[in-house]
Amino acid sequence: MTSTARLLIVGPQGSGKGTQGVRVAEALGIPVVSTGDIFRANIKEGTDLGKKVTAILDAGDLVPDELTSEIVRDRLSQDDAASGFLLDGYPRNTVQVGHLDAFLADSDAALDAVILLDVPREESLERLRLRATEQGRSDDTDEAIAHRLDIYENETAPIISVYEQRGIVDRIDGVGSLDDITARISTALAARGIGQLV
C-alpha cells in the first residue's frame, strides 16, 4: 500500500521511535528518513561527513542545523520520498522546523501528522543503558545519554508546541509492548485518514 503521508515521529532517545518508525513506514509503503541512520552509515564508511559527525558525537553534542538540514533535503529530494516519508530525528529544534517548512513549501506540501511517543525520562534512561550493553555503542555512556535527553527536553520539546498549534500532533503512550504501541499509532493515524497499519 502506498500513501502520500508525510510524517514525523518524535520522542526522547530510548522511546522506541526507531522501531515504531520502521513499522509505520513499512505499513504505509513510505521510506524512513532517519538522520541517525544516515550519520551512522557515513561513520561506518569513513566518509568526510562521517569523520565530522564522529568528532561531534564523541563530544556528546548534536550535528549542526545547517549540515543536518542539507542532508535531509537531499534525501527528501529522491524519488522514493516523492509520495511520502517518515522523518525520524529531524527536525529536532525550531530552526530545523523552519528549514523543513521551506523545503516542503517548494513542492506545495506540509507534514500530515506528528507522532509523539511519550516515555518517562527514567524509562528512556533504562532502555538506553540496556541498548548500550547489548550493542556496545560508544556514544551511549551514562553522561552522554543524560546530555542528549537534556538537549531533547530543551530543544526538541518546543517543536511540539509549534506542531500542536497546527493541530497535527498525536500523543502516543510509548510504554507497553511493541504491538500495543503500533496499534495506538495506527488508531491515531486512521483518525486522520492515513492508512491502516495493523
Residues assigned a catalytic role: 17, 92, 131, 137, 148
CB-based contacts of 24, cutoff 8 Å, min separation 6: 7, 9, 86, 115, 182, 185, 189, 197
Residue 84 burial (CB < 10 Å; 0-12/13-18/19+)?
buried
- Strands (DSSP E) found in the chain: 6-10, 32-34, 85-88, 113-118, 169-173
What's the DSSP call for residue 162?
A: H
The CA dihedral of 74, 13, 178, 90, to the nearest 10 degrees, is: -20
Torsion of CA 13, 16, 17, 23, to 10 degrees: 160
Q: Please, are residues 97 and 162 in contact by the beta-carbon 8 Å criterion?
A: yes
